[in-house]
Amino acid sequence: MATTRSTPRLPLLSPVPPTTTVPGFPERRGWRRQADVAFVFYLAVYLVMAVWLALDVGYVLGDALSRTQGALSVLYSRNPDLSVIGFIFTPLTTIAQLPFVALSPWVPELTRAGLAGAVVSALFMAGAVREVWLIAGERNVRHWFAVCATTLFALNPMIVLYGAVGMSEAPFVFATLWATRRLIRWSSTDDVHDLIAAGFALALAFLARYDALVMAFAAMLTVGVLAWLGRRRIGRTDCIGFAVLDMIVLVWPIGLAFLTWTVSSWLTTGELLAQFTSTAGNAAIIAAAGGGATGLPALSEASFRSFLVAPALLGVLAVAVVLSVRRRDPETVFPVVMMLTVIVFQIVTYAAGSTFGLLRFFIAGIPLTIVLLIQLHAPAGRFRSLRPGATYRDRSALVPLTPAVAVTMSALALSGTLLTAGAMTSQKWAPQEFALRQAVPGVDTGTLAEQGDRERVLRTFSTEAHIARHLDAMGLDEGEVLVSTTYGFAVLTASENQRQFVIPSDTDFITVLNRPAQSGVRFLLVHPAEGRGALDPVNLRYPGIYETGSHIATLELEFPNQGEGQPDWRLYRVLSTPDSP
Mapping DSSP to helix (H, G, I), strand (E, B) and coil, where does residue 374 land? helix
* Between residues 284 and 412, the one the model is more confident about: 412
pTM of the model: 0.93
* Between residues 450 and 479, the one the model is more confident about: 479
Rounded CA gap, 236 and 230, in Å?
9
How many helices (DSSP H) and strands (DSSP E) are in the chain?
Answer: 24, 5
Which residues neighbour 448 within 8 Å (Cβ) at sequence distance 6 or greater? none
Q: What is the pLDDT of residue 281?
A: 60
Containing H/E element for 555? strand 553-559
Q: What is the pLDDT of residues 345-392, one digit of tens each?
A: 999 988 887 778 889 999 999 999 999 999 999 888 888 888 888 888
573: number of Cβ within 10 Å = 14
Rounded CA gap, 72 and 581, in Å?
39
418: number of Cβ within 10 Å = 11
Q: What is the pLDDT of residues 183-197, one digit of tens each?
A: 999 999 999 999 999
Do 176 and 215 touch, CB atoms closer than 8 A?
yes
Position 277 confidence tier, pLDDT thresholds 50, 70, 90: low
Q: What is the pLDDT of residues 433-446, one digit of tens each?
A: 999 988 887 777 77
Which residues neighbour 51 within 8 Å (Cβ) at sequence distance 6 or greater? 115, 118
Burial 441-452 (b: 16+ CB within 10 A, else e): eeeeeeeeeeee
Alpha helices (H) along 358-402? 365-375
Position 1 confidence tier, pLDDT thresholds 50, 70, 90: very low
Q: What is the pLDDT of residues 290-324, one digit of tens each?
A: 556 678 888 999 999 999 999 999 999 999 999 99
Q: What is the pLDDT of residue 38?
A: 96
Distances (CA, A) of 252 to 215, 264, 331, 490, 560: 14, 18, 23, 37, 51
| Residue among 214, 215, 341, 355 nearest 291 (CA) | 355
